[in-house]
Structure 1
Amino acid sequence: MTSADREKEIQIVNKIFKKLKGRGSNPELRGIPFYEAFIHTERGPKILENNSRPGDPEIQNLLPILKDDFVDVCFRILDGNLKRVQFEKRATVVTYMAPPNYGGFKNVFPERVNSSEIGKPVDLSEAYDLTKKYEDNVRIYPGSMELRDDGQTYALGSRTVCAVGIGETIEDAREKSLEGLRAIKGGALWFRTDIASREHIAKSIEHMKKLRNKW
């Protein structure tokens, strides 16, 4: 992404934000009203979708390295005087685990699914124990799960739980994220191992180049 692309994105976002505020009908618009999903083409950035919430999993990458107090940030938003937000200069990688039916995984890779584990409780205890090893550099965030009457947690239909790794490099953060997921047991959950790898990043960059030429 070039600096010109970034400037164009900001122009588009400001235009949408101005539209959301209306012609004086909603001048006190506050909070995180939207995040924009962009695609970059040979004619510049285009919007794929708008969402009226922080992005998931994007927000999981950001909050752990937020230097400002989040509550203070919220109050500054309400007061209308939030000028900037500061983050630590560190890398973060988030990887999700999902149930076998999510994304059609069970149908495409039936040999990778332990059918005897489907519907069984999901144990996060070993993953949480990694905080003793890495302190706050590994974060475990439950997602589509429920606590049942037997006192155990079970996966539902969407993304079940994610692990955020934090490090000085992307590779360091990635390894911590994967270690966090490998410590989670039960539920026949699956996860991608290529997220944020050198190969995955290179493939994404190449894909972006092709999109610019195609669109």
Structure 2
Amino acid sequence: MGSYKDSKDWLPFLEKRDREEEERLVQKIFKRLRGSEEQSRGEWQSERRNDGAGLRGVPFYVAFMHTAEGAKILEINSRPGDPELQTVLPVLKSDFVDLCFRMLEGRLTRVECEAKATVVTYAVPLDYGGCRAKYSGDRRVDLSAAYALQAKEKYGDRLRVYPGSLELREDGQTYALGSRTVCTVGVGETVEEAREISLDGVRNIDGALWNRWDIGSEQHLRRSVRRMRALRAKEREINA
């Protein structure tokens, strides 16, 4: 499991016009949910109102599927996705806490990111996601070597380690629970550079975990590019 983003605001197999189409769809939905200007200017603060009218600015997590007939929406969440959020957190230009306050105050209108690529690689228990039918061995997880890659300034802020479904017990050790255990995020000028940093981080996690190795790989990107070219050819046939 994992995710990635390019240094641009759209993925390597998409074009700027695809991103613009996505934005048009999301803005249309948001404006409809937002309601009137009177509702959106702060009536949510009134103790007499509890119906949620006047949607405030929130980071929409929208899952798109691009087809020969244009972008289609699979799902919408008014919360960040996991692991999609981790691709954005390290490259936010604004302080995340400040963004949260702006959401509460109804002042969030834009979120800006640095022009960097990021790749997220998740390590999960052996009995998660069908890798093993059952695992009854040691579930201790040691993140110290992964953190050392930051502390020794080999990567510094270009590597982030985000613990997930982990439990700190009385013996001072951390143990994997049943879900996504920990992810490493690489930040680079390109997806390839970010991927290498992310994989170096996950390789230095000590524990009975498994992870995918193809997130953001060149082979994956080439396959996605070929698929989008085929869809665009089909789109031209439809519109001819």
TM-score in same-fold range (> 0.5) = yes
Three-state SS of the structure 2 residue aligned to 1:88 is coil
Unaligned runs of 5+ in 1: none
Q: What does 1:40-51 correspond to in 2, within 5 Å?
A: 40-51=66-77
Unaligned runs of 5+ in 2: 1-13, 40-50, 236-240
Contact 1:98–1:161 (Cα < 8 Å) also in 2: yes
Supply the distance in 2 between the matched residues of 1:206 and 1:106 (Cα, whole angstroms): 33
RMSD: 2.6
Which one of 166, 184, 190 corresponds to residue 145 of structure 1?
A: 166
Which one of 60, 82, 102 corresponds to residue 76 of structure 1?
A: 102
Which one of 71, 86, 90 corresponds to residue 64 of structure 1?
A: 90
Supply the distance in 1 between the matched residues of 2:34 and 2:97 (Cα, whole angstroms): 24
Cα displacement (A) at 1:104: 0.8
Contact 2:34–2:56 (Cα < 8 Å) also in 1: no
Q: What does 1:1-215 correspond to in 2, within 5 Å?
A: 1-22=14-35, 24=39, 26-32=52-58, 34-106=60-132, 118-132=137-151, 133-186=154-207, 188-209=208-229, 213=234
Taking only the aligned residue pairs, the percentage that are identical comes to: 59
Residues 67-101 of structure 1: CA distance to partner in whole angstroms, max 9, x if unpaired?
22223333333343334333222221110001112
Q: Which amino acid aligns with 1:104?
A: G
- Structure with bigger helix share is 1
- Runs of 4+ in structure 1 deviating by more than 6 angstroms, as ranges, are none
Supply the distance in 2 between the matched residues of 1:14 and 1:191 (Cα, whole angstroms): 35
Supply the distance in 1 between the matched residues of 2:121 and 2:177 (Cα, whole angstroms): 17
Residues 148-203 of structure 1: CA distance to partner in whole angstroms, max 9, x if unpaired?
232211112221100001122222211111111111112x2011111111111112
Contact 2:35–2:55 (Cα < 8 Å) also in 1: no
| Number of residue-to-residue matches in the alignment | 207
Question: Residues 136 and 203 from structure 1, CA distance in 2 versus in 1: closer, same or farther, beyond 3 angstroms?
Answer: same
Cα displacement (A) at 1:21: 3.0
Question: Residues 170 and 8 from structure 1, CA distance in 2 versus in 1: closer, same or farther, beyond 3 angstroms?
Answer: closer
The range that moved more, 150-159 or 202-211, is 202-211
Three-state SS of the structure 1 residue aligned to 2:118 is strand
Contact 1:165–1:173 (Cα < 8 Å) also in 2: yes
